[in-house]
A and B are shown apart, each in its own frame.
Chain A
């Protein structure tokens, strides 16, 4: 029996990064598993983009603290990725007969999973990172990739000239054919930044991955090694312009900002978009209850919450309890947290399952933050307790419980 099993394109999702600039928020979980936007995790956006683009085979490459991410992904059913042929696979590094090693870089991670990719015998491979917030149709990008006969297509977005130092910049001719890469330049020639979304023709990529692995000096990175090598060899590399909303949530500030973007009608990211739903694993929780003294003003609230305080411009995750007299502004309260009576939060991120007592003040005396757009963000880590009456200054990152001693 020879029934040929073949996929046109599969996705490889790099989810092994730590995201160390997120501090306590990524102490226990990988960055893609960070809660976002009321009921989602960051990885939901990329996974939903895949299924909405008709990609049904996704390999998730994990390395840093994968347990919570693994159990969140499960068999992929919430994203419709439990399939007979294909579906979702979690791919941690594994030992081989003689050697076996951690993923050394983004390209090495794919190199170590060549066998996995070949099981689907794909013509094209989509390489993604699991830590960006955006909605994108990869199918249209693939059409472009086929049309231009490229070996590699890189999705790019326009960034302001003063931010080019944060990105891998791409220089192209008028047909968007790439002739040069610049890694985080202070003064870039163009404003086209790589989004970390690549489509490769698999046969080409495979040969370059093997060549790159043979080079002991290589950092085994797509941006630094693979793409420049392909360019040098005279391959066709094209940029694909993306014009929608895209945000890298690599820092506390950007995580806060992109959450707040959801509350801003002028920012083009709409979650309530039935043809392009963002799927997520849902907890079993009843509808939310809004109490007699609640005031809600530009607020997103999820299932299982009980709200009795005053809220303004905030995002409340599932199963959060907010007691009477609490005043929450410009803040994010993650799953299972409790905020006590008469407690004030301003410009704060409260991580999952944390208990904030009564009369607590978080984000007191907020000074302007590093970018000058908004005050500093205060972060309270997960699974901790902040005792009644504690005052936490703006910009602090609290990793352990604050319990008052007797008689204080």
Chain B
């Protein structure tokens, strides 16, 4: 496909507490063995796009470590391939701080790399929405409908609270976007479509829009391009009707992970292959006396205790007599004997020693930072 993929590995509106303290949004573990970036990259690869740039801002070591040379996503290429664009500051400029003022600033400072691509179109994606989408279809509709920018949107699920910072749009009957607003409070608004932070446009248009905005000191893609220019540009919506997950705060993160315990949901998410880093871990082992129900378990886990309604990443150990309920346990975390966990998120490489009890609530899970010993 004649398109360049651009991924923002971070979000300016997230509240993931300890989870993004040491990593960028895109490298948060999700659905057991995956990271959020796996779903986003797999969408591109499954749509035939093999030329991808990832824009990073801070704490992206874990992302670089996860992606390596992009081999597992079939992105180690001579033509195109994966590029991780680390923060860049223009030499000689006044703002030589290496920090981006906004999404447009980030694009501007990555322009040398974007310009190098021979692709005609760009497909931009953020890291806060996880879904399975065919970009080929989106691009087809973009060309057919003669759009300047195609914005992918969806309707919030019934009764769910729209997170702070969600970009709500208004469209006319031909799906032309004429208004965009940020959600400023946790409100329930079911009929208001929400932008899924994915856009399609011509690369040449992106280049001139970015140059123009920078000249006027405008830095926010939503506010300064979509919101400001929706009167002049033909910005069209494209509805994503399939299932999606949104990760912008810890409660949602927990809830969205738990949705994957429904087999129908997980079937839809994994209809097309989702690629991830290969760890060469052994198959999961369930000892005599273990009790596991309604849970996602990954390779390399060793379970002696009880696991209920939980999601376990690779290499998790659950000791004898321990009970893990409604929890998310990340890679290589060790839970020793007779531990009780309920509504807890344990980050990577945590050790929970014998007889400890950690209990959170559905609406406010306990989050334990990477490498903690409890």
Contact = CB atoms under 8 A, between A and B. Distances in A.
Interface in B275-306: 275, 278, 280-300, 302
Interface stretch (B126-134, B266-274, B353-361): B266-274
B31 A287 contact: yes
Contact of B294 (A77, A291, A299, A303): A291
Nearest to A273: B282
Contacts of B269: 286
B203 interface: no
Interface string A282-305: 101011111111111111111100
A298 B286 CA distance: 5
Interface string A256-297: 000000000000000110000111101010111111111111
Interface residues of A, number: 35
Contact of A296 (B261, B278, B292): B292
Contacts of A303: 33, 283, 298-299
Nearest to B281: A272
B263 interface: yes
Contact of A294 (B273, B284, B293): B293
B285 A300 contact: yes
B283 A301 contact: yes
Given A38-B283, A272-B300, A277-B280, A284 B273 contact: yes
Query: DSSP class of A's interface residues: helix, strand, loop or mixed?
Result: loop
A288 B282 contact: no
B292 A289 contact: no
Nearest to A302: B283
Contact of A301 (B275, B287, B297, B312): B297
In the complex, which of the residues A37, A78, A287, A303 has the most CB atoms of chain B within 10 Å of its own CB atom?
A287
Contacts of B313: 287
A306 interface: yes
B263 A306 contact: yes
Contacts of A38: 282-283
B348 to A, nearest CB: 16
B263 A284 contact: no
B287 A286 contact: no
A280 B302 CA distance: 20
Nearest to B312: A287
In the complex, which of the residues B34, B263, B292 has the most CB atoms of chain A within 10 Å of its own CB atom?
B292
B240 interface: no
A299 B291 CA distance: 12
B284 A302 contact: yes
B286 A287 contact: no
Contacts of A295: 291
A39 B278 contact: no
B293 A292 contact: yes
A39 B298 CA distance: 13
B23 interface: no
Nearest to A306: B263
B193 interface: no
B297 A272 contact: no
B319 interface: no
B294 A300 contact: no
A79 to B, nearest CB: 10
Contact of A290 (B282, B289, B293, B299): B293
Given A287-B31, A287-B298, A290-B293, A297 B288 contact: yes
B32 interface: yes
Given A298-B288, A301-B286, A290 B274 contact: no
Interface in B118-141: none
A271 B294 contact: no
Contact of B284 (A286, A293, A297, A301): A301
Nearest to B284: A301
Given A77-B71, A78-B278, A280-B280, A286 B32 contact: yes
Contact of A284 (B275, B284, B285): B275
Nearest to B33: A287
Interface string A322-333: 000000000000
Nearest to B297: A288
Contacts of A290: 292-297, 307
Contacts of B285: 272, 299-300
Nearest to A289: B296
Contacts of A301: 283-284, 286, 297
A304 B3 CA distance: 32
Interface in A97-123: none
A299 B263 CA distance: 22
Nearest to B261: A289
B44 to A, nearest CB: 15
Contacts of B274: 284, 286
In the complex, which of the residues B270, B280, B290 has the most CB atoms of chain A within 10 Å of its own CB atom?
B280
B280 A293 contact: no
B294 A297 contact: no
A287 B297 contact: yes
A296 B290 contact: yes
Contacts of B31: 286-287
Contact of B290 (A271, A291, A292, A297): A297
A294 B295 CA distance: 10
A289 B269 CA distance: 14
A287 B289 contact: no
A334 to B, nearest CB: 13
Contacts of B284: 288, 300-302
In the complex, which of the residues B34, B284, B288, B297 has the most CB atoms of chain A within 10 Å of its own CB atom?
B284
Interface of B: 31-34, 71, 261, 263, 266, 269-270, 273-275, 278, 280-300, 302, 307, 311-313
Interface of A: 37-39, 77-78, 271-272, 277-280, 282, 284, 286-303, 306, 311, 315-316
5 contacts: A39-B283, A278-B280, A288-B297, A289-B261, A299-B286
Given A289-B266, A290-B294, A297-B286, 20 more contacts: A37-B283, A39-B282, A272-B281, A272-B282, A282-B278, A284-B273, A286-B32, A286-B34, A287-B32, A287-B313, A288-B284, A290-B292, A290-B297, A290-B307, A292-B294, A296-B290, A300-B283, A301-B283, A302-B284, A303-B283
CB-based closest 10 A-B pairs: A287-B32, A38-B283, A296-B286, A284-B273, A287-B298, A302-B283, A271-B282, A290-B292, A300-B283, A272-B282
